[in-house]
Structure 1
Amino acid sequence: MSTQWTDAALVAAARSGSDNAFAILVDRHQQAVRSFLRRVCGHEADADDLAQETFLAAWTALRTLDEPARVRSWLFGIAWRRTQGMARSMSRTRRRETDWQAERADSDQPGTELNIAMQQALAQLPPDQRAAVALCLAGDWSHADAARILEMPLGTVKSHVLRGRARLVEILGVRDDET
């Protein structure tokens, strides 16, 4: 099966029992889902675990997908709901890991300090606002798509993005025209 297939065709094939079709869907969308979850969670290992759970849940619920062409936003919706469900249990682990990363003095990766600052700033936003910012500003999703993924009214998503961006500018101490 070729990667030229549309998502809708891959969903149809996967519903008919093709493990290969579902594997192509996973390959096609897992990086975007993982990136979104890393922004929302702030901790890579938790985000990777949630991504695994997202695709497992998607496999078991594939028959419930109403619009196969929108499988990507459906996956993001599953990822968001998984994140909401695990938020409390992950908070202690995230806090320990963030503290450890911040204390690591021997980091030789460029931009690590900026990444840590951004993750810490994102962590200060309320979860709904953080998700909207992660989708619209970092993930280049439209407000309408983010509203569908997060199951929120469009106006709420727009407000979350506007307020979240303003709060990040304030936390990071940058001028608004630098962002």
Structure 2
Amino acid sequence: MNGALSDAELVSRALAGSDAAFSRLVERHQAAVRGFLRRFLGSGWAEADDVAQDAFLAAWRSLRTLKDPAGVRPWLCGIAWRKAQDRIRGSRRGAARDASWLESLELPAGVSPEEKLALQAAMAELPPDVRGCVALCLGDGWSHGEVSLALGLPLGTVKSHVARGRSRLLKALGGSDDA
């Protein structure tokens, strides 16, 4: 024997409780899973790596459902595919919620429909964490502390996200950030 265990042998050991065996499976197949996710999501390495991590965690939890221990790679890619689909659906729901919130905004008198559209577009371009902070602080009147607790972000991060988001929104509306 050459010392390298097959996927089926590693699955058997992982099912018997060996974290090291599952870790070896992850090491063996992570490049394929991460590469697939990067190509599929098209959104960069960080998101693909986050989804891959979720997929490997789900795989560990559901290892007993693997019907063919020799077919670990396709099984892992299937889990990654479903996790990526969940991520895409979640992003779409978030974008729809943001659009709905923006439509419900009562803008001050004198704000044109074009400016409202510019605001919507600027909000959509904000990174999700910045958009969340802006929506809660500026849109709903939450304090920085409340947003910090709700989103699990440090207080200083919330403050900088709100300031950065406010500046970008004002710029989109043709205003200045001299306040």
Q: Which has the larger radius of gyration?
A: 2
Structure with larger RCO (C-alpha < 8 A, sep 6+): 1
TM-score normalised by length of structure 1: 0.49
What's the TM-score, normalizing by structure 2? 0.49
